[in-house]
């Protein structure tokens, strides 16, 4: 059964000079599991893309004309409660981790800083395994920017987040 996306048109808020961000976050908090959000705005909401990526959503944009945009935010794929980045995610083809980090005793943002520093020293294709005290919602967009793939979930206790990160190449745009 497909769940219809929740549609939110923030153009009236914007025309009235208001800030739609709290309304958008409230809508996201009230989505049912697996449900997408279709946001309609009077501009392309670029800053929202990384915020939503951090909350586990990918996006697809559509220009509506007259400067209006519709953006469909979909929950990222989950396999057996494992959250994974987009793209080809055949985890069976990943090599064993070459580095392991236990960062469960650190407060944010130190775990993210250490993971990113460790990844910079690794070769493309190598895998890092890390244990964290919480799901790294702000790490996901940073990994995507750097071209890395990841898969993670909580352990059986629900207190330790485990993440595998495969080192990739950043996307480079021609002429950028």
Residue 148: per-residue pLDDT: 92
Q: How many whole angstroms from its chain centre is CA 119?
A: 18
């976050």: which residue's tokens?
Answer: 25
The answer on 60 and 119 residing in a single domain is: no
Q: Mean pLDDT in the chain?
A: 86
Residue 18: per-residue pLDDT: 94
* Final residue before a domain boundary, out of 59, 75, 91: 75
Q: What is the dihedral of CA 50, 53, 59, 63, to 10 degrees?
A: -20
Residue 89: per-residue pLDDT: 62
* Final residue before a domain boundary, out of 75, 98, 128: 75
The answer on 89 and 67 residing in a single domain is: no
- Please give the Cα distance from 124 to 147 (Å, whole number): 10
The answer on 146 and 93 residing in a single domain is: yes
The answer on 92 and 19 residing in a single domain is: no
Residue 173: per-residue pLDDT: 44
Could you tell me if residue 60 is inside a domain?
yes
The answer on 63 and 120 residing in a single domain is: no
The answer on 53 and 14 residing in a single domain is: yes
Q: pTM surpassing 0.85?
A: no
What is the average pLDDT across 119-126? 95
Could you tell me if residue 1 is inside a domain?
no
Structural domain count, the chain: 2
pLDDT band (50, 70, 90) for residue 105? very high
Q: Where are the beta strands (DSSP E) in 10-154?
A: 37-41, 57-65, 68-75, 78-79, 82-84, 99-102, 127-132, 149-154
pLDDT in tens, 144-161: 889 999 988 887 777 889
Question: The domain that contains 134 carries what CATH number?
Answer: 3.30.110.40
The answer on 140 and 92 residing in a single domain is: yes
Residue 119: per-residue pLDDT: 97
What is the average pLDDT across 129-151? 91
Please list, residue by residue across 111-129, b when 16 or more beta carbons sit within 10 angstroms of its beta carbon and e when fewer do.
bbeebbebbeebeeebbbb
pLDDT band (50, 70, 90) for residue 78? low
Which tokens belong to 141? 């967009």
pLDDT band (50, 70, 90) for residue 53? confident
First to last CA, the chain: 42
* Final residue before a domain boundary, out of 34, 57, 75: 75
Could you tell me which residues are beta bridge partners of residue 59? 73
| Domain of 10, in residue numbers | 6-75
pLDDT in tens, 58-67: 889 999 999 9
Could you tell me if residue 173 is inside a domain?
no
Angle between the N-to-C axes of helices 46-54 and 21-29, in degrees from 0 to 180, rounded to the nearest 10: 30
Could you tell me if residue 174 is inside a domain?
no
Could you tell me if residue 175 is inside a domain?
no
Residue 171: per-residue pLDDT: 56
């Amino acid at each position: 059964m497909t769940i219809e996306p929740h549609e939110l048109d923030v153009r009236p808020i914007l025309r009235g000079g208001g800030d739609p961000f709290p309304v958008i976050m409230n809508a996201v908090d009230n989505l049912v599991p697996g449900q997408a959000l279709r946001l309609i705005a009077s501009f392309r909401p670029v800053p929202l893309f990384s915020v939503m990526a951090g909350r586990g959503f990918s996006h697809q944009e559509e220009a509506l004309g007259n400067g209006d945009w519709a953006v469909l935010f979909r929950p990222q794929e989950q396999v057996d409660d494992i959250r994974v980045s987009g793209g080809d995610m055949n985890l069976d083809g990943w090599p064993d981790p070459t580095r392991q980090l236990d960062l469960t005793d650190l407060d944010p943002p130190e775990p993210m800083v250490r993971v990113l520093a460790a990844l910079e020293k690794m070769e493309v294709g190598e895998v890092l395994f890390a244990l964290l005290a919480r799901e790294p919602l702000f790490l996901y967009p940073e990994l995507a920017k750097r071209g890395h793939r990841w898969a993670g979930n909580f352990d059986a206790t629900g207190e330790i987040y485990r993440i595998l990160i495969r080192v990739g190449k950043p996307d480079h745009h021609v002429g950028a």
